[in-house]
Each structure stands twice: as C-alpha cells, then as structure tokens.
A and B are shown apart, each in its own frame.
Chain A
Amino acid sequence: MTKLRLITLCAFLGLLSACSNTTKPIPDEIPDDELSATFTRLSRIYLHADELGSENTYRGQGDSAGGIYADVVHMYSSLTDRFTRYYIPEHYQSALAMYMGSSDGNAIVGIYYQIVDDTLQAMRIIPGSPAALAGMHKGDKILTVNGENVTGTGADSYSTKASGGTGTQLEMTILRNSEILTLIIIKAVIGIPTVWLDSIDGIPVIQVDFFASRAPYSSTTGTEYEFKHILAQAGDFKSAVIDLRGNPGGSVEECLQMTDDLLDTGVIVYQIEHNYDTLLQRTVIDTTQPLVVTANSPFEKRHYVFLEDAGSASCSEIMLAGIQRNTDWPIVGATSYGKGIAQGLYASPAGGLEVITSIEFRDGNWNNYHHIGIVPSVPEADPDSALAIAVRLAKQAGVVQIALARAGTIQISDHAALARINAHLENRPTYPMGTWDFRHLRQ
C-alpha cells in the first residue's frame, strides 16, 4: 500500500500559496490509481469541491501529448482556484523545496547583488556561504569573474559566468573602498536565510523574505528560528521595524509562531479547514481558534512598526491581521495582496505533489480579507518614503510617539503622511476583545 500523508499546509504566493505543519494520516482507502487518488482527495478537501465532475469525466480527457499524468493535470487545470496545483513526480522535489523554502539543491555563491553605476554590488552576504567564507563583504563591487569583465555591459552576463555546480571554483576581482582584491569562491549548496537585520538611524529593521518551513517538513531550521535569533541579535531595543514587503508567505506554522513571539495574548486569525475525518469517514469543516500561546517571549511588550505592500501575501497577511487585531502598532505601506486561503500539500501515490486549497482564514473580527488585503494604518505608496516613516514611527515608540506627533513636537518631513497618521489614529475602529462566538460560523 502506498504511504500517503499530508506533508504540510502551505500558503505562499511564490507560485502563489501559508503552511501549517499538521501531519494528518490519510486513510488507506485512497486508491492507487493516480487520477482516482487525486480526484478522491480533491473531492474530500478542496474548498470548492462542487466544481468537480465525476471521476470519469476526467478520464482520457488530458492532452495526449501530456504523458501519463495528463488526465490529472487536466483535472487540476479545470478548477477555478489557481493555487490548487498538481506537480508531476519529476517535479516533486523542486516544487516541494519551493513551498518549504528550503534549498532547491543548486550550488550558489551566496550573495544578493544589485547593479549600481553599471557595477555589481553585493548587498547581502549569506552567512556561512561560499562568498562569506571567501571573505566577501557587504558593499563589495565585483569587477571580473574568472578573468572576464562583469562591469558595464558585462554585468548582464554575471549569472552565466558564475554558473556551475558544487565545487566550481570562481576567481573574482572585487573593489572594496579603493582597494582591488581577488577572492576564490567555491560554490556549494547551502540554505538561504529568510530573515535579515539592518539598522537605520539606530532602529533595527528586520526584513522577512519568506516563511520557510522547519524540520521535519524541510531541511531548514524554519523562519521563526531565524527570526528569534535576529531579534536577540538586535539587542535590547525598545522599538523595531518589521518589513514584510514582497513577502509572499510560506508556512502558516511559522508565521503564527512569529506573531506569537511578538504578542502576549489575543486571537491571530481564525482558520476554517476542510478535512477528511478518517474516523467518521466523511468531510469535516474544522474551524480553529489559534490563540497566542501563553509561552512568554522576551520580545513581547516592545514596540513594532510593520511595513507591507501589494506583494505581502498569505502568511504575511496572517501576521499583519494578528497585529492589527491585537495592537495599535502602525502598519505602513500599501494594502497587501489579499490571499486569505491556504493549501495542504500531499504526496500522491505516483510520487507527484498535490497542492490543494483547503483552508480559509478570517481575521480576528471574522472578516474575510481574501481579495481585499490588510489595509495599512499609515498608507504610503512610495517604498522609500514608507521605510522612512516606519523608522520615524519606531523611533518615537508607541503612545508617546503618537502624542508627540499630534502635538507637532517631532519633525516628520512628510506632512501629508503625518496628516494620514493623525486621521488614522482618530478613526481607527476599536475591536471588542470578547469571547469567540461560534455562531459566526453560520455567516
């Protein structure tokens, strides 16, 4: 009998999907035939199972050139939810790595770069990466790779020139300050961090790129682990900026726990999950109340300012919804993407990956933000301006800052932004923190 199990729940936007690591046994009676198996699972847990025809309406309907899984691919493509996907067995590993945020198995140099004045400049060096081991620093400019020029028009060819598998040796000349240095970099497969710490004006700015799943679901330690270490590394700060711009989501488990780390009490979001009850052998709609755990984190009772934009999706929105419901911490930027659903990941009998939208989220007031997004409390479309406002708000930490801003005793160069802050503070709805009413379910 093929062993089938839910690998994890995922919501991220990368290929557009938040992950919650609940392993649930899938009953053995899921058939071994790939179309039957995938159809059975879809009909049990897919959010819009009524879109499905009978199993036979999909048999033999796939593109004949599409190989042996064409019928399954065709069935998935007929569904309206574009996050519900099927990956054929050949793509299982790479798809899983993408959803988990773990390494895709390719060797890398280990830098994030941008092109400044026609020159590649290392903006971030992944700790422990080949570049870091070779002694590359943030801000270094790359001039040549293996003797070939990568400045000016050559910059575009960097990725080709730096290609190669594990063990590939790259000789790079770099410009640091006014010094030219030569570094030998040996490419390797390493995990990529998802949390980065910068300091602007003495304020820690913590950027979260993605919510990577932890072991045993992935080969990484998980984003929450990184997040706590970065917070600790930032020291005894009173106030910090957490940047979720462009963060497409990831593991629900991770973003819930990270929100836990910052809050001391309250509801983050509600989760409505379509499950298959193996005991009762029928579909069940579970509505979960995720509570902020009582476990105390040293990072509670501080002040945080969040940054979001249209690229903040899924798991990022779960975190923002929890913050918005339970605190008056500012959320600066543009309305988020609006993905209030999540997918369960399953291994199919043939070894394919089934990604099925089976979960909906509601914010703490039982509002559905799907297709709506989390509206910032301090709207600011310009990214640079948003960052500057966030840092300023963080600097003035909390209520004191608000009072001061109102009294006009602090200098905010963007008066329009200040006006929006004040307007927001006056109009902000207050949310009752009552007990959960199960009757909400009936809406």
Chain B
Amino acid sequence: MDGPLEPVPAPDELSFNYWLLKRLYIHPEELQDQSIFYTKGDSLDSLGVIAPDKLTGITPTQYFSLVSLYASVTDRYTRYIPPEKADQQRLTDTSTTIHGGIGAEVAWSLNTDSTRLTFSRVYADGPAQAANLNSGDRIVLMNGHEMRNDSAYQIYSEVLKDSIWIRLDVMRGSFDAPVAVHIEILKGNIFVPTVFTDTIDGVPVIQVREFVRSSVRDGGTDLEFQRALTATHGGGVRVIDLRGNPGGEINQCLNMVDEFLQDVPMIHLISHHFDSRGRARVDTSTYPAQPGGIAVGERVILAVDSGTASCAEIFVTALKDNLQDRATIVGTHTYGKGIGQAHWNTPAGGVAIVTSIQIRSPLWTNYHGAGIPADVVTSKSKILSTAIGLAQAENGLARRSVTSEHFEEFMPVARQGGAWVDSTWGQYK
C-alpha cells in the first residue's frame, strides 16, 4: 500500500545528501551516479579541511564521499557542513550585535596636528556615545599609548581587543583652535547600525552596509532605513550607497524596496522544494509590493560596485525594473548572485546547504553570474562622487566635487569591535 509520502531512503548520510541534491538542487542534471561517490579515493589528507580524528557522527570515508559529492556540482554555494561544525552554522548571522566594543568607528587620515585616527561614526546607544565621544574627535593618546604615529591603527586594534576600559585623549574641533578632551569608555554590548545617513555636498546619502534582522536596539536594517528615508524627506534626490553591501536577509531588503513601490512585483523566486506530499516540486513565487510607502515613486540614485551582492542586488533590480528612468544605477557591474540556499539538517547531524532558489527581477531578468549593469558606468574611485554629482544637478545645487573625491578614497580596513577604519571619513559629518 502506497503511503502518502514518497519513501525516503534509509538515513545513510551520503544517500540522504544525494537524494536531497537530486530533488532540490537547481541543476540536478550535474549529479553523476551516486555509486561513484562511494568508491572514490581514500585520502583525506589532501582535503586539509578536517583531521579525521576531529570528525564526529561520520567516518572519514563518508566525509570524503560527501565532499566529493558536493565538489561535483558547479554551484559553490551548495555545500556540506559536517556535524561538528553544524551548530556554528546554524547560528545564522541575524544580528550585528558585538559583545565588548565601544560603539564607534575610526578613519585613517594624515591630519595637520599629526593625529592619524579620527572617529568617523559614533553609534547611538553605545558606550562611546554615553561617554560623550564625538564624531570627528582625533586620537592623541589611547590607554597611555602615543597615537600620533603610523602604528596608530595597530595599537588601536590591540588596545581595543585587550582592555575593558578604554581611556582616550582626543582633540576636538578645528585644527586652529582644538579642545583637548579626556574620555573613559567601558566596553559593552554594541548595536552596530547598518544604515548611515549623511548630507554630502547638499545631497542626502543613505549608506546601507548589509541587511540584518537585528541591528539597532529596536529593529533591523529596514527600520533604520525607514528612519533614514523620513529624515531625508524633502531633501531632494537621494543617493543610496550599496557599494560593498554583501546582502543579508531577504525580508529586510524587500521591506525596504516596498517603501518605494506599491502593487508591482518586487521579486520572483523559482524554488525547488517539497510539497506537503513529500514530492519535489518547482514553484514560482511572486512577491508584490504592498500599498503605501514612505517614498512611493520617488526618484532615486543607486551607487553600486562589484561588491554589491545578493540582497543588495534584489534591492537594485526591484527599483530599477519598476521605476525605470526614475532609478539610476551608478558604478560598475554588480556581483551577480541571483540564487538562494535552503539549509537542511542531515541524519548524521550535519547541515546540507543546497542552492534551491533562483531569483528573477520583476521583469524576469536573470542576473546571476552576469551582475546588474550600471546606467552610468564609472571607475570604482568615482562612483559616489558621480552619483552625488547627478543628484546635485537634479537638486539644483552647484557641483562641488572636492570633498566627494575624498569620500571616495574611503577604504575599509577592518571592522572589529565596532571599528571601521577608512581614510578621510572623519571630514564628513
């Protein structure tokens, strides 16, 4: 008698993974016969991933078979996490909260008063803000260390890592008439924002670094973005800076796009999944924008680069396809990740990460691999200044490009303990 469900093979780790890939992976035709993975090789040494004695739940031979299986598919996001690493993998990256930081970012610049590190951003609700650190403060001494030299960032990183109390002597205000300020900060839990709003040369610029569920104390990237849109309302054409944004949670970017659109498709997902009867099925899901939004139909300029990926690309295509000429993409081709992965727990306790979702833009473009072309192509160093220049022209502002050029040189070095190091950032507040 047939049951309502298709029979699932006995939970042998390899056959389960093969079975899963065969049904859910977007290119099942790439899979060779299951039997070849059982017989392949016997050397784990060449993998250099996990020493055999560290494996739990599966034997080295099984692990080798599994690695061979996953290596045989072309999609590199489809992968196997062995049981001992599974827990870590399951802790999905849903929050930007950092335990033990000061809640500020520094930028590297050669200042006339010999200081090198300038605080570029001080986060709301963080210890640095509570200790009255200001954006623009320049570091002279940190826990007694002289900071006016080229090792400043190295010292900064080490002190930040090793100390609980951070004592800073900073210079505040103009170079001509600076004020020396002493600040003591007790490190704590930091809510790292993901959206930053600046007015650069008269143009509202909203930088979105990633898309997470929990960033500020009371919400995620979408909440921050709503606030940024509200704060810049009436300020003319906005530039939304998505350079280097690697993506994140899809609900965040959809909610954000929804502020600009209503009643039109934002995204189509072609997903391979199991239906209620356990049969593998392909569904197309279309997510329409809801009625209303803070910035419905408004003109927008998007700054993108080759690091703009995944969810950030969803954001870009959703606006571009629907707003057409009202959205201008400035920069380079984007990264080109138009796929999604489903995570499955395996019988041995591992995690199978399978690319089972393909993304299409509202106009059914597949940008996976290709990336999204820019409307205005510029070199990497001119992206933001070009975007701001466009906005200035439309907002009726005289173009002043000097500061914008500096802005471009901002080179993230590290983000650690709430610190983001870049050059000259501190001049923009």
Contact = CB atoms under 8 A, between A and B. Distances in A.
Given A280-B254, A438-B360, A285 B285 contact: yes
A436 B2 CA distance: 29
Contacts of B254: 280, 282
A286 B285 contact: yes
B157 interface: no
Contacts of A284: 285-287
A291 B277 CA distance: 13
Interface in A38-82: none
Nearest to B271: A286
A22 B276 contact: yes
Contacts of B275: 22, 288
Given A23-B276, A282-B290, A284-B286, A295 B2 contact: yes
A104 interface: no
Interface residues on A, range: 20 to 34
Nearest to B290: A282
B283 A288 contact: yes
B276 A285 contact: no
B282 A285 contact: no
Contacts of A279: 251
A290 B254 CA distance: 28
A253 B277 contact: yes
A436 B284 CA distance: 11
Contact of B286 (A23, A214, A287, A290): A287
A19 to B, nearest CB: 12
Interface string B356-372: 00001000100000000
Given A253-B277, A438-B270, A289 B283 contact: yes
B268 interface: yes
Interface string A16-29: 00001111000000
Contacts of B360: 438
Contact of B282 (A20, A280, A289): A289
B349 interface: no
B98 interface: no
Contacts of B287: 277, 280, 282-285
B288 interface: yes
B364 A442 contact: yes
Given A289-B281, A290-B281, A441 B251 contact: no
Q: Name the residue among B6, B282, B283, B288 with the largest chain A CB count within 10 angstroms.
A: B283
A281 B251 contact: yes
A287 B284 contact: yes
A291 B281 contact: yes
A21 to B, nearest CB: 6
Bin chain B's interface residue count.
20 to 34
A293 interface: yes
A20 B250 CA distance: 28
Contact of A285 (B4, B279, B286): B286
B276 A21 contact: yes
Contacts of B250: 280
Given A280-B251, A282-B254, A289-B281, A438 B288 contact: no
Contact of A286 (B251, B283, B288): B283
A234 to B, nearest CB: 19
A283 B284 contact: no
A288 B288 contact: no
Contacts of A293: 279
A441 B276 contact: no
Contacts of A439: 364
A285 B265 CA distance: 10
Interface in B207-259: 250-251, 254, 258
A287 B270 CA distance: 9
B185 to A, nearest CB: 37
A390 B255 CA distance: 56
Nearest to A20: B276
Given A280-B250, A283-B288, A284-B286, A438 B364 contact: yes
A441 B288 contact: no
Contacts of B258: 282
A286 B279 contact: no
A219 to B, nearest CB: 16
Contacts of B276: 20-23, 253
Nearest to B250: A280
Nearest to B287: A284
A295 B286 contact: no
A217 to B, nearest CB: 11
Q: Which 9 A-B pairs have the closest CB atoms?
A: A22-B276, A287-B284, A280-B251, A285-B286, A288-B283, A284-B285, A286-B285, A286-B283, A284-B287
Given A285-B285, A441-B286, 10 more contacts: A21-B276, A23-B276, A279-B251, A282-B251, A283-B288, A284-B285, A286-B284, A287-B286, A293-B279, A295-B2
19 contacts: A20-B276, A21-B276, A253-B277, A280-B251, A280-B254, A282-B254, A283-B288, A285-B286, A285-B287, A286-B285, A287-B284, A287-B286, A289-B282, A291-B279, A295-B2, A436-B282, A438-B268, A438-B284, A442-B364
Interface of B: 2, 4, 6, 250-251, 254, 258, 268, 270, 275-277, 279, 281-288, 290, 360, 364
